[in-house]
């Protein structure tokens, strides 16, 4: 029974990848779009990404949405670059709505693929060592792992989504914790992109460090107090 179920899943995945591969090979504009998008996200050049999105005119929000889904499949491309750019292009409010909504869809996609096809598929997108790290991360933080991961900007959004799908965690628990944890960071980065302009990189690193330090203090403060109390 298990072998039959896995064969069906593998068959569906083979069909999907074949269709995607066919489009990639036989539709040159799509291939150019893919390579340019991956390069811009990898380089983290907000101004270049802004110009790329603007070249699509009224379709820019749709392209931004698709790029968020694309980067979720190819971990560890940085999602925050796109969030910053959305703030720069669409303003603090609509940029936040677009970034948060597309990130939620991307998270659900990663979780669903991981839950449906298991570790053997996920290891085709991320390295075994990265997955081993997520195993330890979930073992350490338990049900709070998703919330902690979404609040800390240096933890890969997509890697955690893939890793969550390999745990017994239910989808709605994952979905709600992702939504709650992702919202402050999304608003923060979108507003930063909206206000920072040309100084966006310097402002990003300074404010991200302060943001992350505050979160770490909030998370580790109780443990540090308990440790000090035990020593005395």
- Name the H helices within the chain: 2-26, 28-43, 46-54, 60-73, 80-90, 92-117, 119-122, 128-141, 145-151, 157-165, 171-196, 200-231
Cα 93 to Cα 75: distance, rounded to the nearest angstrom:
27
User: What is Dmax (Cα atoms) for the chain?
Assistant: 70
Q: What is the pLDDT along the chain (232 residues), one digit of tens a residue?
A: 444 554 555 544 444 444 444 444 444 566 666 677 778 777 777 888 888 899 989 999 999 998 888 888 775 666 778 888 898 899 889 999 999 999 999 999 889 888 888 888 788 778 888 888 888 888 887 767 887 777 776 677 888 888 898 888 889 889 988 888 888 878 877 877 777 654 555 555 555 555 555 555 555 555 655 655 566 5
What pTM, to 2 d.p., does this model score? 0.74
Q: What is the pLDDT of residue 101?
A: 93
For the chain, the straight-line distance linking the first and the last C-alpha, in angstroms and rounded, comes to 58
Cα three-residue angle 187-178-212, rounded to 5 degrees: 55
Q: Identify which of 81, 20, 27 has the alpha carbon closest to the alpha carbon of residue 52.
A: 81
46, 88 Cβ separation under 8 angstroms: yes
**Dihedral (Cα; 120, 105, 46, 61), 10-degree rounding:** 140
**Residue 201 in tokens:** 């990189």
**Residue 59 in tokens:** 């379709």
Residue 108, CA distances (Å) to 10, 131, 167 in order? 20, 18, 14
Cα 107 to Cα 140: distance, rounded to the nearest angstrom:
21
Q: What is the pLDDT of residue 156?
A: 78
Number of domains in the chain: 1
Domain limits for position 213: 2-231
Q: What is the pLDDT of residue 1?
A: 46
């Amino acid at each position: 029974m298990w072998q039959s179920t896995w064969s069906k899943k593998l068959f569906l995945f083979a069909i999907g990848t074949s269709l995607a591969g066919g489009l990639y090979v036989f539709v040159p504009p799509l291939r150019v779009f893919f390579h340019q998008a991956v390069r811009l996200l990898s380089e983290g050049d907000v101004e270049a990404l802004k110009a790329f999105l603007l070249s699509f005119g009224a379709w820019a929000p749709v392209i931004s949405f698709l790029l968020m889904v694309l980067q979720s499949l190819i971990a560890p491309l940085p999602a925050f670059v796109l969030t910053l750019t959305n703030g720069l292009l669409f303003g603090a409010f609509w940029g936040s709505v677009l970034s948060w909504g597309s990130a939620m869809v991307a998270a659900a996609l990663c979780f669903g693929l991981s839950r449906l096809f298991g570790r053997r598929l996920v290891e085709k997108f991320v390295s075994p060592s990265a997955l081993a790290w997520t195993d330890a991360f979930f073992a350490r933080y338990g049900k709070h792992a998703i919330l902690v991961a979404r609040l800390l900007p240096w933890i890969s959004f997509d890697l955690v989504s893939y890793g969550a799908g390999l745990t017994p965690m239910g989808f709605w628990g994952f979905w709600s914790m992702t939504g709650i944890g992702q919202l402050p960071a999304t608003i923060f980065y979108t507003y930063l992109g909206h206000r920072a302009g040309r100084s966006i990189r310097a402002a990003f690193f300074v404010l991200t460090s302060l943001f992350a330090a505050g979160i770490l203090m909030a998370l580790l403060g109780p443990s540090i107090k308990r440790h000090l109390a035990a020593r005395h």
